[in-house]
């Protein structure tokens, strides 16, 4: 099913995690998404990093009915033409590692969520002014929670997705959400090479459920404080 921007933003706030993954074998991608879904993830970012990523994504969309509550996004999108291509293929949201407003125009025309990547306050404010409802802070491992906590009072109302080096561990997640993150992107720290190589889908399901639960726990503590 198609998801509205409002539905996806609400889901990002609720679950707090966006698993991201790329592989050139659609069967592996489907196994990963199935495990993530069973673990409670409801927004997935398929990163456009392989020569056949478009074909793999189309196969994922063909099986979308298997994950009826999962919004399927595409990441590592760098220009308007590729944005259009993946929206036509069924992407629910477009995630970029950069800020390029030509992509915003395409997303807005199709009422799709545009999540641009930013690394400075100027980029973040520019993205917000261009209509970005959720902004990706990337790379998180370089920026750090201190960056987020410092900019929140300057540009109130920001909804930030932190990606790059985020760990599904209480201390790391707590630092990001305490700083003001809306959600976090989890890649190889969640979907490890070992899981993929050994087909440990139940382990991935369990890790995902733990990450979702940790986020809820961290957010609850923040609300109390």
pLDDT tens-place string over residues 41-76? 999 999 999 999 999 999 999 999 999 999 999 999
Instruction: Supply the pLDDT for residue 225.
Output: 62
Rounded to whole angstroms, how far apart are CA atoms 144 and 10? 25
Is residue 83 within 8 A of residue 103, CB to CB? The reply is yes
Instruction: Supply the pLDDT for residue 38.
Output: 98
Rounded to whole angstroms, how far apart are CA atoms 180 and 124? 14
Q: What mean pLDDT comes out for the span 206-224? A: 90
Taking 70 as the threshold, does the pLDDT of residue 185 lie above it? yes
C-alpha angle with apex 167: 165 to 168, nearest 5 degrees? 150
Instruction: Supply the pLDDT for residue 2.
Output: 82
pLDDT in tens, 5-17: 999 999 999 999 9
Rounded to whole angstroms, how far apart are CA atoms 170 and 217? 9
Number of structural domains (the chain) is 1
Q: What mean pLDDT comes out for the span 150-161? A: 95
**What CATH number does residue 141 fall under?**
3.20.20.70
Cis check: omega of the bond before 139, within 30 degrees of 0: yes
Tell me the residue range of the domain where 22 lies: 5-224
Give, as one character, the DSSP assignment of residue 42: -
Instruction: Supply the pLDDT for residue 222.
Output: 74
3-state helix, strand, coil in the chain (%, to 5): 50, 15, 35
């Amino acid at each position: 099913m198609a998801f509205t921007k409002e539905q996806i933003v609400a889901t990002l706030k609720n679950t707090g995690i966006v698993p991201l993954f790329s592989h050139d074998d659609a069967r592996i991608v489907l196994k990963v998404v199935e495990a993530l879904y069973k673990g409670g993830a409801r927004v997935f970012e398929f990163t456009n990093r392989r020569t056949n990523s478009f074909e793999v994504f189309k196969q994922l969309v063909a099986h979308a009915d298997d994950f009826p509550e999962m919004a399927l996004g595409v990441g590592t999108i760098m220009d308007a033409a590729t944005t259009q291509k993946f929206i036509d293929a069924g992407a629910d949201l477009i995630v970029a590692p950069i800020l390029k407003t030509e992509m915003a125009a395409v997303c807005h025309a199709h009422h799709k969520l545009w999540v641009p990547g930013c690394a400075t306050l100027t980029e973040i404010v520019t993205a917000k002014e261009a209509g970005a409802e959720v902004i990706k802070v990337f790379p998180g491992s370089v920026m750090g929670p201190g960056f987020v906590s410092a900019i929140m009072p300057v540009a109130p109302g920001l909804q930030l997705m932190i990606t790059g080096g985020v760990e599904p561990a209480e201390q790391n997640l707590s630092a990001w959400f305490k700083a003001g993150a809306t959600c976090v992107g989890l890649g190889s720290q969640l979907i490890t090479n070992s899981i993929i190589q050994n087909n440990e889908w139940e382990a991935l399901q369990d890790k995902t459920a733990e990450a979702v639960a940790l986020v809820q726990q961290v957010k609850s503590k923040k609300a109390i404080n």
